[in-house]
Structure 1
Amino acid sequence: MLQSNFFTKYLQFLQERYPDILIATRDHLTISAVSIVLGTVVAVPLGMFLAKNQIKWLHTFIFTITNVFQTIPSLALLAIMIPLLGIGVKPAIFALFLYSLLPILRNTYAGFHSVDHSIVESARGMGYSSIQRLLLIQLPLAFPYIMSGLRMTTVYIISWTTLAALIGAGGLGELIVSGIGVNKEELIISGAVSAIILALLADRILGSIEKRVFRKAKSSINTSTV
């Protein structure tokens, strides 16, 4: 009986507040997507560079810095951003961008190291330039590693973005924080469940993209190197 009453009450809540939930979801997606795109734009080329140029001190320095960002508690990093960038969306995006770097960088670096050297040499023998070998051979073969890092980062960032509400960035975390403040279970559940669904959907979509792109790339490589 209690469950039935809560379910009815929750459906009524959704009918009344769904515009607010949609706006919060849109803001959440925007913050997460921008952070992940920025992290990818920086970490993938950097990982490719480190894999191609084995400069030990630079490798150690960059991975140490990105590791430090990853070890800072998310709430503490958001708090650090306030005196630097103020409150709102900008500091939230910058903090989440810093969090996104390590998994993508590490997997990109590992992916390029996993490429069979004989395939690269075969492409060299066929007249491929260094840029062609990088873009047409090494990058497609390293793609599953890169996507694995991207998928993991996406799930983490969507989850951590809920904390961005604490510095006025909005998103689904705002529903959760408001729900805690007024002791309203419907708000808390809506924010939490929506964030979980977003993370699962994003992982599923990226997984599908990974399979399709890698299948086509591998087929193209096999054809061109035979």
Structure 2
Amino acid sequence: MTVTAAEVRSTDRWARRSPWSMLTTPAVLLAVTGALLLYLRGADLDEIERRSINADVITQRFVEHVELVVVSTALVLAIAIPLGVALTRPRARWLAAPFLALANLGQAIPSIGILVLLAVTVGIGFDKAVIALVLVSALPVLRNTMVGLQGVDRSLIDAGRGIGLSRGAVLFRVELPLAVPVILASVRVAVILNVGSATLAAFTNAGGLGDLINTGIALNRNTVLLTGSILTAVLALAADWLVGVADHYLRPRGI
């Protein structure tokens, strides 16, 4: 999955927002979460619903979901960005096409397919779900790291070399800063993919908000289903907001 120019422009507009306007999203998300909790407190729940969406269960499932997203996203960044940088270096460019073909193959497999395949071959649990999430979301970051670095004006690189900077210094002081908007646009996509795909981790005993959604569907309890779905949406929007904040402060001034 390649991040489109429209998504990069959306990130650019986000980065130009004032500090006060950045507080709008968390305020709305807090209001939605508070309204949900107030509704659950006053709703006439049956015994199954009370067992499924009490405070302890909701907190546990939410924390499990956050852990899945944070760990998988951290691994994606640790793997995809250095690999994307390496594949843009002159000596390794011939490896770029095979790596992208392999990544595209992994991206073509549905998330649930990867989870089931890992469950059948190596078992179930948190770590298997994390592997599946990494396989699902690594391609956008890998591809856009390469696209961002390849899009840096060659004259700027030559100018850096001309004033005596080493290749490493040019990479970290010229190329990567200029590629930040494109890379972070793909990180935004990867994070949202992980939040959504992590709901499927419930099928492999990894927990998360997917447990609430599955319980609501299996037991025909719409309140449980809506609770899991709303909290998943809130988490996805919160993650998107955090990436936008990172973009605002990490991109070089004037870009």
Q: Do they superpose with TM above 0.5?
A: yes
Match of 1:4 in 2: none
State whether structure 2 residue 172 is matched by structure 1 residue 117.
no
Task: Name the amino acid aligned to 2:96.
Answer: H
Contact 2:115 2:128 in 1 (8 A): yes
Taking structure 1 as the reference length, the TM-score comes to 0.87
Match of 2:78 in 1: 41
Contact 2:177 2:252 in 1 (8 A): no
Task: Name the amino acid aligned to 1:72.
Answer: I
The within-5 A match list for 1:121-200 is 121-200=158-237
Match of 2:42 in 1: 12
Residue-by-residue CA offset, 1:201-221 (whole Å, 9 max, x unaligned)? 1111111210221134x68xx
- Measured in 2, the distance between the counterparts of 1:194 and 1:48 equals 35
- Counting matched residue pairs gives 213
- Measured in 2, the distance between the counterparts of 1:182 and 1:64 equals 42
Residue 8 and residue 63 in structure 1: after superposition, are their counterparts in 2 closer, same or farther (change >3 A)?
closer
Residue 165 and residue 55 in structure 1: after superposition, are their counterparts in 2 closer, same or farther (change >3 A)?
same
Match of 1:91 in 2: 128
Q: Which moved more, 1:53-62 or 1:19-28?
A: 53-62
Taking structure 2 as the reference length, the TM-score comes to 0.78
Q: Which moved more, 1:87-96 or 1:49-58?
A: 49-58
Alpha carbon RMSD of aligned pairs, Å?
2.2
- The higher relative CO (CA closer than 8 Å, separation ≥ 6) is in 2
Q: Please report how far the alpha carbon of residue 102 of structure 1 lies from its aligned counterpart in structure 2 after TM superposition.
A: 0.5
Match of 2:145 in 1: 108
Task: Name the amino acid aligned to 2:40.
Answer: Y
Residue-by-residue CA offset, 1:147-191 (whole Å, 9 max, x unaligned)? 011000100110010000011110000011111122111111111
More helix by share: 1
> Percent identity, aligned pairs only?
33
Selected match of 1:82 from 119, 122, 127? 119
Q: Unaligned regions of 5+ residues in structure 1, if any?
A: 1-6, 220-226
